[in-house]
Amino acid sequence: MKLIECPRDAWQGFHPFIPSETKLAYLNQLMKVGFETIDFGSFVSPKAMPQMQDTAWVTERLDLSGSSTSLLAIVANERGAADACTFGQIGQIGYPFSISETFQMRNTQATIAESFERVKRIAGLCTKHQKELVIYISMGFGNPYGDAWAPEIVMEWVEKLSKLGVSTFSLADTVGVAQASDIGWLFTALIPHYPELEFGAHFHTRPDDWRIKIQAAYDAGCRRFDGAMFGYGGCPMAQDDLVGNMPTERLIDFAKEQKELLSIDADELQKARTMFQQIVG
């Protein structure tokens, strides 16, 4: 299993502003834990995401020595991708491609059609600068707006986006509505059909249904999972205070149950947990 730790998703909506030095110290600690990837920041408008306005400052000062963990930054448009591509430290660039028209407009101020054109340009930048492009299929399991959704729609967009050279997709349960049957159906349909692509799961969840979602994805062949310490954060669009990120601790426990080999250093993980608790109070 690949574990992607997502402090960016955990604290992007946190108030007040977390000091840059504090973010840097925490991220440097995470680099010691042994995660496959850390979704650490985003290159977006400071007005849209004030908590992430120091991503460039933090990136320049990260200590990557002795760590095999890859860094992933989220962007919302070509300008953000161009900024992210200037940093050699960043190995992956993530773009949220929503199959809900309403959410795409709210999240990136672009229609789905415009977003597709953005991906074309961002994919070109990633190729030029040797970055891996990760597409997050936002609202991948339904949405609260009444916009059309079906597993077939997800598959249609994966097909279109893969033709742009995208090889890594993370299916996002943005508002925590995914049903085990839909999770299993999608991953079972996608993974064998696209053996050259990697599919991950970015689940937002209530405390009582985390296992159902992980198990359904795992049984269908998914081995890439996003999480955040203590399940902190998540999407405010969920309109449910109990819906947060998938807890990293649950993912680690699940991996152990499945006898999956992880490179997680338990002592360094505990240090990171303690630091995170101090940050968010």
pTM flag (> 0.85): yes
What's the domain range around 134? 2-280
Helices 248-257 + 210-219 axis angle, to 10: 50
What CATH number has the domain bearing residue 236? 3.20.20.70
What 8-state DSSP symbol labels residue 15?
Answer: S
Say which residue the tokens 């009444």 belong to. 146
The count of structural domains within the chain is 1
Q: Give a three-class secondary structure readout of 216-250.
A: HHHHCCCCEEEEEHHHCCCCHHHCCCCCEECEHHH
What string of pLDDT tens digits covers the 281 residues of the chain? 999 999 999 999 898 999 999 999 999 999 999 999 999 999 999 998 999 999 999 999 999 999 999 999 999 999 999 999 999 999 999 999 999 999 999 999 999 999 999 999 999 999 999 999 999 999 999 999 999 999 999 999 999 999 999 999 999 998 888 999 999 999 999 999 999 999 999 999 888 889 999 999 999 999 999 999 999 987 655 555 657 899 999 999 999 999 999 999 999 999 999 999 999 98
